[in-house]
Amino acid sequence: MLVALAGSEPSTDPHYRVATDRAVGIYETGVAGSLELRGTVHHGGAQLDPAMRSARLLARLCRLHAVRFGDSVRLPRETASFDTWLVDQSAADPSIGGETRTRNIYVWDAASKRSPAEWTRTLCHEFGHLVLPAARGYAAPESDAAGYLGEALYMEFLLGDDAPAGPDDHSRFDDVHRYASDRNLPRETRFHSAGPASRVLDRLDGTGMDYYIGGALASLRAFGAPILWKALRGIDDESPRELFASLRHVLLGQREIAVKLPAWVPLFADRYRIAPKDGPGVVRLGDSPPLALDGPKTVRFDAPGWRRFTSGTGRSTEIILRRGAG
Protein backbone atom coordinates (compact mmCIF):
# COMPACT_ATOMS: atom_id res chain seq x y z
CA MET A 1 0.00 0.00 0.00
CA LEU A 2 1.24 3.50 -0.87
CA VAL A 3 0.49 6.47 1.37
CA ALA A 4 1.13 10.05 0.25
CA LEU A 5 2.40 11.95 3.28
CA ALA A 6 1.79 15.50 2.09
CA GLY A 7 2.68 18.15 4.62
CA SER A 8 4.82 15.73 6.61
CA GLU A 9 7.72 16.90 8.73
CA PRO A 10 10.74 17.97 6.63
CA SER A 11 13.27 15.17 6.07
CA THR A 12 17.01 15.47 5.44
CA ASP A 13 19.07 12.69 3.94
CA PRO A 14 22.16 11.51 5.88
CA HIS A 15 24.76 11.92 3.12
CA TYR A 16 24.11 15.11 1.12
CA ARG A 17 21.77 16.92 3.52
CA VAL A 18 19.04 17.10 0.88
CA ALA A 19 15.89 18.53 2.50
CA THR A 20 12.38 17.52 1.37
CA ASP A 21 8.97 18.27 2.85
CA ARG A 22 6.82 15.49 1.38
CA ALA A 23 6.99 11.72 1.09
CA VAL A 24 5.26 8.58 -0.17
CA GLY A 25 5.40 5.56 2.12
CA ILE A 26 5.58 2.00 0.75
CA TYR A 27 3.89 -0.40 3.18
CA GLU A 28 3.66 -4.18 3.24
CA THR A 29 1.32 -6.40 5.23
CA GLY A 30 3.18 -8.04 8.10
CA VAL A 31 2.74 -11.51 9.53
CA ALA A 32 0.09 -10.41 12.02
CA GLY A 33 -1.76 -8.29 9.46
CA SER A 34 -0.18 -5.00 10.51
CA LEU A 35 1.26 -2.58 7.96
CA GLU A 36 5.05 -2.36 7.99
CA LEU A 37 7.04 0.40 6.29
CA ARG A 38 9.35 -0.99 3.58
CA GLY A 39 10.40 2.18 1.79
CA THR A 40 9.90 5.93 1.57
CA VAL A 41 10.13 8.16 -1.50
CA HIS A 42 11.01 11.71 -0.41
CA HIS A 43 10.18 14.61 -2.72
CA GLY A 44 9.31 18.26 -3.00
CA GLY A 45 5.85 19.68 -3.61
CA ALA A 46 6.21 19.74 -7.41
CA GLN A 47 7.28 16.10 -7.66
CA LEU A 48 4.22 14.24 -6.33
CA ASP A 49 3.44 12.59 -9.68
CA PRO A 50 6.93 11.11 -10.35
CA ALA A 51 7.19 10.25 -6.64
CA MET A 52 3.99 8.18 -6.76
CA ARG A 53 5.09 6.47 -9.97
CA SER A 54 8.51 5.73 -8.49
CA ALA A 55 6.96 4.35 -5.31
CA ARG A 56 4.70 2.08 -7.37
CA LEU A 57 7.65 0.76 -9.36
CA LEU A 58 9.80 0.22 -6.26
CA ALA A 59 6.93 -1.60 -4.56
CA ARG A 60 6.56 -3.75 -7.66
CA LEU A 61 10.29 -4.54 -7.69
CA CYS A 62 10.07 -5.61 -4.04
CA ARG A 63 7.18 -7.94 -4.92
CA LEU A 64 8.89 -9.38 -8.00
CA HIS A 65 12.10 -9.92 -6.05
CA ALA A 66 10.23 -11.91 -3.38
CA VAL A 67 8.13 -13.89 -5.88
CA ARG A 68 10.89 -14.76 -8.34
CA PHE A 69 13.79 -15.31 -5.95
CA GLY A 70 11.65 -16.85 -3.23
CA ASP A 71 13.20 -14.54 -0.64
CA SER A 72 12.20 -11.12 0.65
CA VAL A 73 14.35 -8.07 -0.01
CA ARG A 74 17.36 -7.87 2.28
CA LEU A 75 18.67 -4.36 2.85
CA PRO A 76 22.19 -3.23 3.83
CA ARG A 77 22.95 -3.58 7.54
CA GLU A 78 19.71 -5.57 7.97
CA THR A 79 17.63 -2.37 8.11
CA ALA A 80 13.85 -2.68 7.80
CA SER A 81 13.24 -0.03 5.12
CA PHE A 82 14.99 2.07 2.47
CA ASP A 83 14.76 5.72 1.45
CA THR A 84 14.59 7.17 -2.05
CA TRP A 85 15.27 10.87 -2.59
CA LEU A 86 14.02 12.71 -5.69
CA VAL A 87 16.44 15.64 -5.92
CA ASP A 88 15.73 18.55 -8.25
CA GLN A 89 19.35 19.56 -8.72
CA SER A 90 22.02 17.62 -10.60
CA ALA A 91 24.68 15.52 -8.91
CA ALA A 92 28.19 16.92 -8.50
CA ASP A 93 28.98 14.91 -11.65
CA PRO A 94 26.15 15.92 -14.05
CA SER A 95 26.50 12.62 -15.94
CA ILE A 96 25.19 10.70 -12.90
CA GLY A 97 21.41 10.26 -12.96
CA GLY A 98 21.14 7.99 -9.93
CA GLU A 99 23.18 6.88 -6.96
CA THR A 100 22.87 4.50 -4.01
CA ARG A 101 24.60 4.92 -0.66
CA THR A 102 23.93 2.35 2.07
CA ARG A 103 20.09 2.15 2.15
CA ASN A 104 19.51 5.48 0.34
CA ILE A 105 18.68 5.80 -3.37
CA TYR A 106 19.11 9.21 -5.03
CA VAL A 107 17.51 10.21 -8.32
CA TRP A 108 19.31 13.38 -9.37
CA ASP A 109 17.81 16.09 -11.56
CA ALA A 110 14.37 14.58 -10.94
CA ALA A 111 12.61 17.67 -12.29
CA SER A 112 14.08 17.16 -15.77
CA LYS A 113 12.10 15.61 -18.62
CA ARG A 114 13.33 12.08 -17.99
CA SER A 115 11.56 9.52 -20.23
CA PRO A 116 9.56 6.66 -18.69
CA ALA A 117 12.16 4.24 -20.04
CA GLU A 118 14.94 6.16 -18.28
CA TRP A 119 12.99 6.38 -15.03
CA THR A 120 12.50 2.60 -15.15
CA ARG A 121 16.13 1.87 -16.02
CA THR A 122 17.43 4.23 -13.30
CA LEU A 123 15.25 2.76 -10.55
CA CYS A 124 16.03 -0.85 -11.55
CA HIS A 125 19.73 0.05 -11.58
CA GLU A 126 19.71 1.66 -8.14
CA PHE A 127 17.49 -1.07 -6.69
CA GLY A 128 20.13 -3.54 -7.86
CA HIS A 129 22.78 -1.63 -5.92
CA LEU A 130 20.49 -1.69 -2.90
CA VAL A 131 19.72 -5.42 -2.74
CA LEU A 132 21.98 -7.54 -5.00
CA PRO A 133 25.35 -9.09 -4.14
CA ALA A 134 27.59 -8.79 -7.21
CA ALA A 135 31.15 -8.56 -8.51
CA ARG A 136 33.16 -5.43 -7.79
CA GLY A 137 36.46 -3.89 -8.82
CA TYR A 138 35.58 -2.94 -12.40
CA ALA A 139 37.31 0.02 -14.02
CA ALA A 140 34.27 0.73 -16.23
CA PRO A 141 31.41 1.49 -16.59
CA GLU A 142 31.41 1.60 -12.75
CA SER A 143 33.19 -0.38 -10.06
CA ASP A 144 30.20 -2.34 -8.73
CA ALA A 145 28.27 -4.58 -11.16
CA ALA A 146 25.15 -4.73 -8.97
CA GLY A 147 23.48 -1.76 -10.68
CA TYR A 148 23.77 -3.07 -14.23
CA LEU A 149 22.94 -6.57 -13.00
CA GLY A 150 19.83 -5.06 -11.37
CA GLU A 151 18.80 -3.49 -14.66
CA ALA A 152 19.20 -6.81 -16.46
CA LEU A 153 17.41 -9.02 -13.93
CA TYR A 154 14.57 -6.71 -12.92
CA MET A 155 13.81 -5.79 -16.52
CA GLU A 156 13.39 -9.52 -17.17
CA PHE A 157 11.14 -9.81 -14.11
CA LEU A 158 9.05 -6.83 -15.26
CA LEU A 159 8.76 -8.35 -18.73
CA GLY A 160 7.49 -11.64 -17.32
CA ASP A 161 5.21 -10.12 -14.67
CA ASP A 162 1.76 -11.63 -15.11
CA ALA A 163 0.07 -9.70 -12.29
CA PRO A 164 -2.79 -7.43 -13.38
CA ALA A 165 -1.56 -4.07 -14.63
CA GLY A 166 -1.90 -1.37 -11.98
CA PRO A 167 -1.61 2.40 -12.08
CA ASP A 168 1.27 4.05 -13.95
CA ASP A 169 4.66 3.12 -12.46
CA HIS A 170 6.94 4.57 -15.19
CA SER A 171 7.44 1.17 -16.89
CA ARG A 172 6.04 0.48 -20.35
CA PHE A 173 5.92 -2.99 -21.88
CA ASP A 174 7.52 -1.81 -25.15
CA ASP A 175 10.42 -0.14 -23.28
CA VAL A 176 11.05 -3.19 -21.11
CA HIS A 177 10.83 -5.52 -24.09
CA ARG A 178 13.26 -3.33 -26.04
CA TYR A 179 15.77 -3.40 -23.17
CA ALA A 180 15.51 -7.20 -22.94
CA SER A 181 16.01 -7.69 -26.68
CA ASP A 182 18.62 -4.97 -27.30
CA ARG A 183 20.69 -5.29 -24.13
CA ASN A 184 20.05 -8.61 -22.41
CA LEU A 185 19.82 -10.97 -25.37
CA PRO A 186 23.26 -10.04 -26.82
CA ARG A 187 24.84 -10.43 -23.36
CA GLU A 188 23.32 -13.87 -22.89
CA THR A 189 24.19 -14.98 -26.44
CA ARG A 190 27.83 -14.02 -26.04
CA PHE A 191 28.12 -15.88 -22.74
CA HIS A 192 26.70 -19.03 -24.35
CA SER A 193 29.47 -18.97 -26.98
CA ALA A 194 32.23 -19.80 -24.47
CA GLY A 195 30.71 -20.19 -20.99
CA PRO A 196 32.33 -19.74 -17.56
CA ALA A 197 35.82 -20.73 -18.76
CA SER A 198 36.16 -17.70 -21.06
CA ARG A 199 38.94 -15.23 -20.26
CA VAL A 200 36.51 -12.43 -21.08
CA LEU A 201 35.03 -13.01 -17.62
CA ASP A 202 38.30 -11.74 -16.11
CA ARG A 203 38.20 -8.40 -17.90
CA LEU A 204 37.41 -5.48 -15.61
CA ASP A 205 35.89 -3.24 -18.29
CA GLY A 206 32.46 -2.90 -19.85
CA THR A 207 32.98 -5.98 -22.03
CA GLY A 208 33.85 -8.08 -18.99
CA MET A 209 30.89 -6.77 -16.99
CA ASP A 210 28.49 -7.50 -19.85
CA TYR A 211 29.86 -11.05 -20.06
CA TYR A 212 29.38 -11.50 -16.30
CA ILE A 213 25.79 -10.22 -16.56
CA GLY A 214 25.21 -12.47 -19.57
CA GLY A 215 26.25 -15.44 -17.44
CA ALA A 216 23.80 -14.43 -14.72
CA LEU A 217 21.00 -14.10 -17.31
CA ALA A 218 21.88 -17.48 -18.85
CA SER A 219 21.80 -19.06 -15.38
CA LEU A 220 18.44 -17.42 -14.64
CA ARG A 221 17.02 -18.88 -17.85
CA ALA A 222 18.56 -22.33 -17.42
CA PHE A 223 18.09 -23.04 -13.71
CA GLY A 224 15.50 -20.53 -12.49
CA ALA A 225 15.61 -17.49 -10.25
CA PRO A 226 15.77 -19.34 -6.87
CA ILE A 227 18.96 -21.17 -7.94
CA LEU A 228 20.52 -17.93 -9.19
CA TRP A 229 19.61 -16.21 -5.91
CA LYS A 230 21.25 -18.99 -3.88
CA ALA A 231 24.38 -18.54 -5.98
CA LEU A 232 24.36 -14.76 -5.52
CA ARG A 233 23.83 -15.11 -1.78
CA GLY A 234 26.65 -17.64 -1.61
CA ILE A 235 29.46 -15.58 -3.13
CA ASP A 236 32.52 -15.30 -0.87
CA ASP A 237 34.52 -12.63 -2.67
CA GLU A 238 34.03 -9.85 -5.21
CA SER A 239 35.62 -11.42 -8.30
CA PRO A 240 33.40 -12.11 -11.33
CA ARG A 241 34.32 -15.80 -11.27
CA GLU A 242 32.98 -16.20 -7.74
CA LEU A 243 29.37 -16.19 -8.99
CA PHE A 244 30.06 -19.28 -11.11
CA ALA A 245 32.01 -20.98 -8.33
CA SER A 246 29.00 -20.43 -6.08
CA LEU A 247 26.58 -21.58 -8.80
CA ARG A 248 28.67 -24.73 -9.29
CA HIS A 249 28.53 -25.41 -5.54
CA VAL A 250 24.73 -24.96 -5.48
CA LEU A 251 24.08 -27.17 -8.50
CA LEU A 252 26.49 -29.96 -7.58
CA GLY A 253 24.87 -30.09 -4.16
CA GLN A 254 21.60 -31.25 -5.74
CA ARG A 255 21.15 -34.80 -6.89
CA GLU A 256 18.56 -33.80 -9.48
CA ILE A 257 18.07 -30.55 -11.37
CA ALA A 258 15.75 -29.27 -14.09
CA VAL A 259 17.63 -27.55 -16.91
CA LYS A 260 16.19 -25.39 -19.68
CA LEU A 261 18.33 -25.52 -22.79
CA PRO A 262 20.71 -24.13 -23.87
CA ALA A 263 22.72 -24.21 -20.65
CA TRP A 264 26.23 -24.48 -19.27
CA VAL A 265 26.03 -27.19 -16.61
CA PRO A 266 28.69 -28.19 -14.04
CA LEU A 267 29.12 -31.96 -13.76
CA PHE A 268 30.93 -34.51 -11.64
CA ALA A 269 32.84 -37.36 -13.28
CA ASP A 270 29.93 -39.76 -12.88
CA ARG A 271 26.95 -41.37 -14.53
CA TYR A 272 23.85 -39.22 -15.10
CA ARG A 273 20.30 -40.04 -15.98
CA ILE A 274 18.96 -37.57 -18.56
CA ALA A 275 15.22 -37.44 -19.17
CA PRO A 276 13.17 -35.13 -21.41
CA LYS A 277 10.64 -32.99 -19.58
CA ASP A 278 8.67 -31.61 -22.52
CA GLY A 279 8.69 -34.36 -25.13
CA PRO A 280 11.15 -36.40 -27.23
CA GLY A 281 13.97 -34.80 -29.15
CA VAL A 282 17.71 -34.57 -29.61
CA VAL A 283 20.11 -33.09 -27.05
CA ARG A 284 23.75 -32.22 -27.64
CA LEU A 285 26.10 -32.65 -24.67
CA GLY A 286 29.21 -30.62 -25.34
CA ASP A 287 31.46 -32.36 -27.86
CA SER A 288 29.74 -35.73 -27.45
CA PRO A 289 27.59 -37.17 -30.24
CA PRO A 290 23.94 -36.02 -30.25
CA LEU A 291 21.72 -37.95 -27.85
CA ALA A 292 18.23 -38.94 -28.96
CA LEU A 293 15.85 -38.55 -26.01
CA ASP A 294 12.68 -40.54 -26.53
CA GLY A 295 12.84 -41.43 -22.84
CA PRO A 296 15.39 -41.47 -20.00
CA LYS A 297 18.98 -42.23 -21.03
CA THR A 298 22.12 -42.85 -18.99
CA VAL A 299 25.36 -41.08 -19.91
CA ARG A 300 28.76 -41.23 -18.24
CA PHE A 301 31.02 -38.19 -18.06
CA ASP A 302 34.64 -39.22 -17.48
CA ALA A 303 35.91 -35.82 -16.37
CA PRO A 304 34.33 -33.11 -14.19
CA GLY A 305 33.69 -29.60 -15.48
CA TRP A 306 31.25 -27.30 -17.23
CA ARG A 307 29.57 -28.62 -20.38
CA ARG A 308 27.21 -26.90 -22.76
CA PHE A 309 23.89 -28.66 -23.30
CA THR A 310 21.84 -27.60 -26.32
CA SER A 311 18.67 -28.88 -27.93
CA GLY A 312 18.53 -30.24 -31.44
CA THR A 313 15.45 -31.39 -33.31
CA GLY A 314 12.24 -32.22 -31.49
CA ARG A 315 10.64 -30.78 -28.38
CA SER A 316 13.36 -31.43 -25.78
CA THR A 317 14.07 -27.89 -24.58
CA GLU A 318 14.02 -28.86 -20.90
CA ILE A 319 15.63 -31.90 -19.29
CA ILE A 320 15.85 -33.51 -15.87
CA LEU A 321 19.42 -34.35 -14.95
CA ARG A 322 19.97 -36.85 -12.13
CA ARG A 323 23.40 -37.84 -10.87
CA GLY A 324 24.35 -41.39 -9.96
CA ALA A 325 22.06 -43.28 -12.32
CA GLY A 326 22.71 -46.98 -12.52
For 113-164, what is each residue's pLDDT tens digit? 999 999 999 999 999 999 999 999 999 999 999 999 999 999 999 999 998 8
pLDDT given for residue 316 in this prediction: 67
Segment 22-36 shows an average pLDDT of: 89
Closest CA to 257 of 321, 304, 326, 318: 321
**Domains defined for the chain, CATH in brackets:** 256-326 (2.60.120)
**φ and ψ at residue 257, rounded to 5 degrees:** -135, 150
The percent of residues above 90 in pLDDT, for the chain, comes to 83
Q: How many CA atoms lie within 13 A of 165 on its CB side?
A: 6
pLDDT in tens, 91-108: 999 889 999 999 999 999
Kindly provide the residue ranges of all beta strands, DSSP E only, lying in the chain, ordered along the sequence. Answer: 2-4, 11-12, 19-20, 22-29, 35-43, 82-86, 98-101, 104-107, 256-260, 263-267, 270-276, 281-285, 291-293, 297-301, 305-314, 318-323
pLDDT given for residue 224 in this prediction: 98
Segment 7-35 shows an average pLDDT of: 88
Tell me whether the omega of the peptide bond preceding residue 262 falls within 30 degrees of 0, making it cis: yes
pLDDT in tens, 214-245: 999 999 999 999 999 999 999 999 999 999 99
Hey, is 212 helix, strand or coil? helix
Confidence category of residue 314, pLDDT binned at 50, 70, 90: low
pLDDT given for residue 30 in this prediction: 80
Give ∠ CA 35-37-40 in degrees, rounded to 5: 140
pLDDT in tens, 249-289: 999 999 999 999 999 999 999 999 999 998 888 999 988 88
Model confidence, pTM: 0.95
